[in-house]
Structure formats: structure tokens, C-alpha cells
Structure 1
Amino acid sequence: MPEILDIDRLGHRGDGIAATAEGELFVPFTLPGEQVEIDRGGERPELLRVVRPAAERIAPVCRHFGTCGGCQLQHLAQEPYLAFKRGLVIHALRQRGLEAEVDPVIAVPHASRRRVVFSARRVKGGAVLGYSERMSHTLVDVEECPILVPDLEAMIAPMRGWLPPLVSPKGDTRITVLDTQTGLDVAVEQGVTPSPRQISELAAGAAALRLARLSLDGETLILRDEPVISFDGIRVTPPPGAFLQASAASEAAMAQLVLDGVGKAKKVADLYCGIGTFALRLGRKARVTAVEASQAALDALEKAARAGQGTKPLATLRRDLDRLPLTAPELKGFDAVVFDPPRAGAKAQAEELARSSVRRVVAVSCNPATLARDLKILSEGGFQIRFVRPVDQFVFSSHIECVAALERG
């Protein structure tokens, strides 16, 4: 049965929260101060209409908003949206007893995402390409995605018609697409191996898609040109499906914050270094040891470092830092350490850093909760937080990237 509720505040996932007799109720796509009509008949409350909209409510920029689960906050105006993102970081730090000042969020242009992960599903006559619905396995066949760089968004429709030979008839196929300087780098996982004839047909359509490389489960099927990304002018060819910061604008902002945090350090360890987003830039002024679990990522980094101009010699180490963090004795001699772990954070590594003689640490994180935990460990080990700066890398979502710099007192 429909009912009217008042929305009090936003939750950390971007849902509006209403106080009811049964407790807090989370209502997606609503804003504080709004009066809304909902239906609680299903598994989750459904927004039927906004009775009294908030002044901060704006029109979404995408026709799929509200159905597609990729964005949660297209209906919120820019200023309160950025304040919400900053508030996520402030709250996470306070939960750990940290009262560090959180700087204003660095905004990123909306149509700036250069790396995207689609799901594809075989259907009669072709394939569906898009994202899952919110809290569901239902796939939304998207026609547009305004957060993508224009060249990548323009490829959605032609890619849908090109993909079927690669899409599994059983379950979803993962399609990672990276917009590089030389064309699209398309990495297919959990797909099917096309026949030689189908590979020829895929290759014939590759030019229209501005394709650089097509790979299936890490193996290259088509190579028209080496995909290339540049870090401060140093060209890198990423391995298929490699992790990369979602947008060039956010990457540049984070890289500058990392450089500022490291300061004049002459010997730096870059942990969870990936393909060298920070290591290659740091190598302009410091001797860098880059540590990463993926050998393919290290190979790409080493190749780029050898070919790059104006960088100091760079050392690499393959290591799963979650299982085997660099120990305090191993960290001896480093002036600064940078770490950029997955969402789970770097608890074990932070504990070793707290016991080490390292003077400066820069933490990069996409999860305020695990960042706050790691910063608390470092603070208890004698580090003082110099700055915390959020970067709105994940536009319109409830996620926020952050860079924090610490120094021993």
C-alpha cells in the first residue's frame, strides 16, 4: 500500500533515509527534505513519486537513471553532491577518532571516464550490453552513458552489434573497454572462443569501432595497434583488462597530490603500483621501487620505464602485499612510501609502516572506511596527517577516491 514519508538525510550509499515506527527506511533516488510516496509491498521500498521535491533536486542527465544501477546521485545538484562526498570521508575518519581536516573535493568533468566494465548477455538475435539494475542481476541494455568520454560512449551501439560471437550463452560475459591514445582496448572475460571465420569478421569490423586490441581471457585475438596510455609523457601499453584510474582527469589530480605528499624524498616505495600510474611520475625525481602482485603489470611498467626519458632507474618487486607486506626492516632506507590498495585497504602493510623508520607516507584509497582504519594505524605509530583530499573520480556514484599524506612528527 502506498504511503507518504519525509526524507531526513542521505545514507552512505546515496539513498534517502526516512525515520519510521519500524526504524530507518532507505529509499533510493530521494533527497533530504523531500516528501515522497513509496510502496513497501516488495522486497525493497519503491519510490512512486516525489510529493515535495528538495531545492537541490535536478534533472538526471541520463535516460537510464533510476533503472541502471551504475549511478545513484544524478538527481542531486553539484554543490550538495560534492558536500555529500566530502562528508563520507569526514564521517569515516571520525568513526576512527581522527579529527583531521578534509579538504574540498576535487571535481572531475562528467564525461571523463575512459575505462568501463560492461556486462554482456546472449539473447535471441544478438546480445544485451550494459550494467546491472540496482540490487539486481537484471541487465539494463544501455543506449547511452554520459559519464563516459564521448568517443567511448559513441561505441556502445556499434559494439553491441559486433560482440555476439564472443558472448557466452551461459551467464554474463565481462567486457572491459579502455579508451587509449591508439584506439579502444577491449578485454573479454568469461566469453566464448570465436571460430577463425568469426575472428575474421570481428577483425573486419574493428576499424569501424576504432579498435586497437581485442583479447579473450588475457589472450590477444586481434591487434591493430598497441594500446597506449601516457603517464606524464611516458608511454605504457597496459596488459589486457589491466586496472587503471577511471579517468585521466582524476588520475592527474591524484598524481599531483601524491607528488606533493612525497615532497623531496629521494628513495620511494610505490606499493600496489599497478602499471606505474604513480611510479613513473615519481621516477622523474626519485629512485623508485615498485611493488605489485601482477607480473603482467610489472612487465608493462618495466618496459615503459626502459623506454621513458628523464626517469631515474626503477626497481620492481613482485609481491602479494596482502599476504606478505614489506616488513619494517625491508622498508629501512626509504624516505617515503606510497600505497594504493584495493577497496579492502592495506591493514597489514600499514602496521609494518607504523613500525618502520619511514618518514612520509601517502595513502590512496577508493574506500573511506578502510582508509580511515589504515590512517588510524599509522597515527598510532607516530605519523601525523598532513592533508586529506577527496577526488570525485566516480562521478554520480556514492564512491569517493581520496589521497592522504602523513609525516612523522
Structure 2
Amino acid sequence: MTTVIIERLGQQGDGVAPGPIYVPMALPGEEVSGTLIGNMLSDIRIERPSDQRVSAPCPHFRSCGGCQLQHADAAFVADFKRGIVVTALDVQGVATQVRPTITSPDKSRRRASFAARRTKKGALVGFHGRRSDAIVPVPSCILVTPALIAAQPLAEALAMTGASRKAELSVMVTSSMDGLDVAVSGGKPLDGPLRIALAALCETHRLARLTWDDELIGMRHPPMQPMGKARVTPPPGSFLQATEHGQRVLTDLVTEIVGDAKTVADLFAGCGTFALPLAEHAEVHAYEGASSMVQALDGGWRQAQGLKRVTSETRDLFQRPLMPDELARFDAVVIDPPRAGAIAQIAELAQARVPRIAHVSCNPQTFARDAKTLSDAGYILDWVQPLDQFRWSAHVELVGAFRLSHISA
């Protein structure tokens, strides 16, 4: 038996003791004991609990791998996520105001990817277990919307209809304005009988849309998502902010940063999360690498009323970043890159001298790297707002407000 004192939480939410020794579901200051296997403690017993320890609100917490931090109170989790951002900026030597974390409510995740597998007697549906490929049923998950919980019988039916006994289905379910949008991967190859059976499931469960390994099976209604005044039908499985609450918060923050800009460039624009709301007050040019998302954005703009001009372009900003002369015509830039950041595009943006930049990120480390580049080029980072859309996980998102040093706040 090994006994340790937890010093801090690691980036993945595990407690870290000297060694380092990693202890799942432990909190700083706690004395814990267990069996040491490699650098991981298992069979854990909390000998002296933290004052910030709480009873997990979800009955699936100890077995399900979807959450890492339900054993900590809400204030601790919010401070932990803010601390991740502060530390990342400190490492790069970037000083700014880091605001308190804004957290999306429980039961608000509008997308979930269920694992589904055929069994001898039917099908098993749920999320993967903690550090395991085993599927854990989650009939009362408190992360996702009730509509997604209610979709689990559909996932079972899809597995029984189209999964082999050797393979696992991924059933991605997204709430839309017109019903559930379901994208399945890992199933049997489509043939005539399977296509007919899946189409029947689409009707029986009254789905907005069902796709099978990227092939459309049925669409009763376009699965529209609100983006400001516009309504957009995203491609199956394409990126979408995790919660409606989070999307509203991010949009409000980006709008605050852009201010009264008349022309805005939206880089890594997706389906128009920011471009379309910003078009209520500014002309926007959107750049996105996936042509299907560009088409969805353009379609949403053309069908909306009361928006200023939005143009869009399919462009790989990793291979072909916008150059300073292309950026010079914009009053503000919004950039929302993937987790790896956009080192090439940030380098060009630093030289372009665009007055204001709203930088949205899902990775504090790459954001801090980008912030250092912009700061060295004469930008001031006025503030950073952490956002927790992935409640009880170690994941944190943020928005940073940059302006050129001669531009007033």
C-alpha cells in the first residue's frame, strides 16, 4: 500500500503527487492510499479528504469516462480551469486580466457521441469507461440534454440493425431546431436491405437527418442550427459549439471585441458561428478549409433577412494563410483555429496590423503561444475569458481580446 499527498491537479484532471504519481479523482491537499502500478495509483482510498470534495451528482461518475471532476465543488473546478489559462500565459510571459470562468449549465450539451455494440441479446449503448474501451450505460447522464438521453434506444436499434458483432458503432447525436441529427460511423457496408431498414428507423424515431458513414439515409427536415438571425444546416458531424449557452457567450464576447468594425475577416469560420451574427452590423468575409461548411454558411446567409454582405471562401489557412496585404482591408479579425492553433496564420496576422483581433481557442497552450507572437508584434491583450462548455472535464475554452497598442480600449 502506498500513501501520498496530492500537490496539484494535472492537465487531464488527475491528482498529482511527488514522483510524479497520478491519482484519478483526487484533489490537492488530500492524503490518499492505494496500489502503485507504474506511476498510477489504483484501488484508491481517500484518507484525508479536501474541504472542496463533494459527492458526485451523477450515479455513473466512477465508472464512466465522460467526466473527470465531479468529485470537486463548482468553485474549485472554475478556478482550476482559470488556472490552466493563467499558467499557460505565464509560461509565455504574457500578462493580462484573466476573468473568472463562465460555466455552461448541466444537461446542456447538445451533442454526444454514443458507443454502441451488438450483443447476443440485443445491444449495449453508452460512453466508454474510465481509461477503458468497455461501454458503460448512462441512462441518467447529467451532462447532455434530455433529448440526447432519450436517443439511446435509437442507438440500440441502429446497432442491432447495422453493426457487426466485431465492431463498435459511433452514434453522434446532435439536437437541432427540427429534431435529432444522427451521424453513424463504423457500421456494416450499405446494401439495399440495410438502407431500407435504416430509412425505416429514421421515420420511426422521427429524426431530422440520418447519415451512415457519411452517406445520407434520410432527411425528414433540414437539421437547422441558429446562428444569430440566420439558420444554418451544418454538414453531418461537422463542428458545432458544445452548448447553446456556450455559443451565445462566445458570440457576445467576439461581438464585444470587434466593436464598431465595419469590415471583419472570420478565419476558420466553420458554418458561420461568428460570421453570421457579426453580419448584423458589419460586412464579413469568412474563410474555412471545408467546402461543405462554406456552402452551409453561404446558404444560411442567403436565406436570412436583415444581414449585411457575407462573402465566403474555401481556403486551407494552414497551407495558405492570409497575407498582410489581404488582411489590411479589414477593421477586425476573428480567428477560431483547431486545437493545434494556427502558427502560420498568426505570424502573418502579427505583421498585418489589423486594429482588433478576437482570438477564440480550445487550447490554452497554443493560444498562449499565439498571444506571445501577437504581443511581440505590438498587440495588447486586454483580457481573456475562460469558458467551460465541457463541464466536469479538464477541457477549457477561451476568448482573448487583442488590440494594437495605439488603439484605445
- Structure 1 spans left out of the alignment, 5+ residues: none
In the other structure, the counterpart of 1:385 is 381
> Could you tell me whether the CA contact under 8 Å between 1:365 and 1:402 is conserved in 2?
yes
Q: Quick check: 1:100 aligned with 2:100?
A: no
- Aligned positions, number: 405
Segment of structure 1 superposing worse, 10-19 or 161-170: 161-170
> Partner of 1:10 in structure 2?
9
Cα shift at 1:168: 4.4
> 3-state SS of the aligned residue for 1:113?
coil
Match of 2:68 in 1: 72
Structure 2 counterparts to residues 19-34 of structure 1, below 5 A: 19=18, 23-34=19-30
- The secondary structure found in structure 1 opposite 2:103 is coil
State how far apart, in whole Å, the 1-side matches of 2:280 and 2:388 are. Answer: 26
Question: Paired residue for 2:179, among 172, 180, 183?
Answer: 183
251-260 or 170-179, which deviates more: 170-179
Name the CA shift for 1:300/1:332 in 2 (closer, same or farther; >3 Å). Answer: same
Aligned to 1:36: 32
Distance 2:45 2:153 in 1: 31
Residue 400 of structure 1 aligns with an amino acid whose one-letter code is V
Aligned counterparts of 1:261 and 1:75: Cα–Cα separation in 2? 35
Match of 2:54 in 1: 58
Further displaced range: 226-235 or 127-136:
127-136
Instruction: Find the counterpart in structure 2 of residue 143 from structure 1.
Output: 139
**Contact 2:173–2:181 (CA under 8 A) maintained in structure 1:** yes
Moved more, 321-330 or 288-297: 321-330
Structure-2 separation of matches of 1:34 and 1:357: 49
Q: Shift of the alpha carbon at 1:158? A: 4.1
In the alignment, which of 295, 298, 304 is matched to residue 299 of structure 1?
Answer: 295
- DSSP-derived class of the 2:327 partner: coil
- Structure 1 stretch 237-246 or stretch 140-149: which is displaced more? 140-149
1:196-275 aligned at under 5 Å gives the runs 196-207=192-203, 209-275=205-271
With normalisation by structure 1, the TM-score equals 0.94
CA contact (8 A) 2:199 2:217 kept: no
For residue 59 of structure 1, report the CA deviation from its aligned partner.
1.3
Aligned: 1:119 with 2:118: no
Larger CA deviation: 37-46 vs 352-361 = 37-46
Counterpart of 1:304, as a letter, is: G
SS at match of 2:372: helix
Query: Tell me, what secondary structure is at the counterpart of 1:387?
Result: strand
**Structure 1 residues 44 and 161: CA distance shift in structure 2, 3 A:** farther
The superposition leaves residues 297-333 of structure 1 with CA deviations (integer Å, 9 ceiling, x where unpaired) of 0111111100101111111111111121111111111
Give the match for residue 371 of structure 1: 367
CA distance in 2, matches of 1:141, 1:323: 42
Give the drift of 1:169: 4.2
Matched-pair contact (CA < 8 Å) for 1:165–1:192: no
CA–CA separation in structure 2 for the residues paired with 1:117 and 1:402:
23
- The letter for the 2-side match of 1:3 is T
What is residue 323 of structure 1 aligned with on the other side?
319
Amino acid at match of 1:202: L
| Aligned sequence identity (%) | 43
C-alpha distance after superposition, 1:238-285 (max 9, x if no partner): 111111000000010000000001111111110110000000001111
Residue number in structure 2 paired with 1:85: 81
Q: Write the distance in 1 (CA, Å) between the matches of 2:170 and 2:322.
A: 33
Aligned to 1:74, the other structure's residue is in SS state coil
Partner of 2:392: 396
The amino acid that maps onto 1:337 is: V
Aligned-residue offset at 1:163: 3.1
Mark the CA change 1:360 to 1:286 in structure 2 (over 3 Å): closer, same or farther. same
Which amino acid letter does the alignment assign opposite residue 34 of structure 1? E
Tell me the C-alpha RMSD between the 2 structures. 1.7
Please say which of residues 225-234 and 161-170 is displaced more in the overlay.
161-170
Tell me, in whole angstroms, the C-alpha distance in 2 between the residues paired with 1:30 and 1:110.
Answer: 22
**Mean alpha-carbon deviation: is it higher for 354-363 or for 5-14?**
5-14
The aligned residue for residue 334 of structure 2 is: 338
